[in-house]
Amino acid sequence: MSENRFIKTLGNRDVLTLAFGAMIGWGWVVTAGLWITEAGSLGAILAFVIGGLLVTFVGLTYAELASALPLAGGEHVYSFKAMGRVASFITTWAIILGYVSVVAFEAVALPTVFEYLIPNYSMGYLYTVADWDVTITWAGVGVIGSIFIAWINYRGIKFSTAAMFILTLLILIAGVLLITGSSFSGNTQNMQPLFEKGMAGILTVVIMTPFMFVGFDVIPQAAEEIKLPQKQIGKLLIVSVIMAIVWYIAVIFGVSRVLSPSEIAQSNLVTADAMAKAFGDSQMMGNLLVLGGIGGILTSWIGFYVGGSRAIYALARAGMLPKSLGELHPKYNTPHKAILLIAVLSTAAPLLGRPALVWLVDAGGLGLVVAWFMVALSFVILRKKAPDMYRPFRLHGGTAIGWIAVFMSLGVSILYMPGMPSALIWPYEWAIVFAWIVLGFVFYKTSMSKYGTEYSNKHMNDEIARVITYDNQTDIKEKSS
């Protein structure tokens, strides 16, 4: 395979847009009612505070590692340097499950939103999945949207982030209007009950939060394409996490102030209905929020194509997946074959129908927290194993922050297990997880037998040595100046 490299093109605005736009997505529009119903208004806010704390601590470990080892694949590199090749594959394959789940989620969410804008557009019965009827027009909207987003990503990351910036502005406008309207026209009485189903309700929402916050880790995936000082990479990552925490809490607060529990239960799209009610039952304002939600679908969709394709690219370059997936397009400089692979999975998702929304959130969430656990553990190990490694964004809390991230990630992972009140649903959600594990095992074994462990280890060590050498040279220049 020819030596090909990414081009550094992303600035401050691009990086922040990429992460924040990827994190926000569509979940705040389509599942905010579920959060409030499961945990109560204050319970849902508390769940997102807990989830936000987890993501903040994990994000801090990412910030140091992403600044120290700015290579495509992020988690792939950190876990390899800390724990070796097998751990690196497990970590990266888990994060890819999370990314692909989000991409597939958006392909299912897009036809869902059309039900608000164009009632009864779903026609042409095909079959039934989990008591939900899949139709030609409903699935067709998701399939067409998937192809369009794949095309945007195929054309290059600068093109993708430019589109994301415009769409993120649309999201912010819609969200600010919702929060402003609810502050004036809502009331605290609607927020009753503050807690629903006790701790079980809060935990049910907590396991959804990793899926809602995932996106900050897209920054490390695209690290080789960021044209900024390495220290700035870590700073922007943390800023994006804080912005997302504030956003989700504000949305829950706004919706619960405007809609009563009975109105939330009867609504198919609570955030849009809350927006409409906040402005005097204005359907136009409801539609405006839905447009913001569509913007969220597209930003998240684009962002996770970037993250997923770069993670696949990194594994392929290291010989842990077929090497063809690690090729860059000669004109657009994108991992185009990795993008096409994700496009196939995303395009098939709408064929599972609307029930797949919850399945993808939960199954993908498990993959994410497993990867976050491995990154946090890598952070702790590298503080011991490589204490002199150049760290432009160095955490003052040392390994204490890393251990907090390790135990919080492990704790959330346990919530997905059988016997817990928020366990994954059998058979659908566990089927997704087990199928992904088997697929990864086959890919890994086949690739290792073809390319060999020696090639994989040499490639990774050469890449890490290249970036560390560059960082040391940069550090010397900064000190001399």
CATH of residue 77? 1.20.1740.10
pLDDT the model gives residue 385: 93
Q: Which helix (H) or strand (E) holds 38?
A: helix 32-39
**In this structure, is residue 197 part of a structural domain?**
yes
pLDDT computed for residue 150 by the predictor: 94
Whether residue 2 is contained in a domain is answered as no
The tokens for 254 are 């706004």
- pLDDT in the model for residue 470: 53
Q: Give the CA distances from residue 50 to residues 275, 303, 365, in Å, rounded to whole numbers and listed in that order.
A: 26, 24, 15
Residue 5 domain-assigned (yes or no): no
What single-letter amino acid sits at 131? Answer: D
Distances (CA, A) of 257 to 31, 190, 276: 16, 5, 13
CA-nearest of 365, 296, 312 to 106 is 296
CA atoms within 13 A on the CB side of 165: 13
In a domain, residue 140? The reply is: yes
Report which DSSP code applies to 328: P
**Amino acid identity for residue 268 in this structure:** N
pLDDT for the residue 481:
40
Residue 194 lies in a domain: yes
**Domain-embedded: residue 6:** no
User: In the chain, which stretches have pLDDT less than 50?
Assistant: 1-2, 471-481
Predicted pLDDT at 48: 94
pLDDT tens, residue by residue, 339-396: 999 999 889 889 888 777 678 778 888 898 899 999 999 999 999 999 988 899 999 8
Domain residues for the domain of 16 are: 12-480
- pTM value is 0.85
Place of tokens 């502005």: 169
**In this structure, is residue 405 part of a structural domain?**
yes
Residue 1 resides in a domain: no
Of 113, 270, 126, 115, the residue nearest 190 (C-alpha): 270
Alpha-carbon distance of 403 to 373, in angstroms, equals: 10
Say if residues 49 and 321 touch (Cβ distance below 8 Å).
no
For the record, the structure tokens of 378 come out as 């890598």
Look at the chain and report how many structural domains it folds into: 1
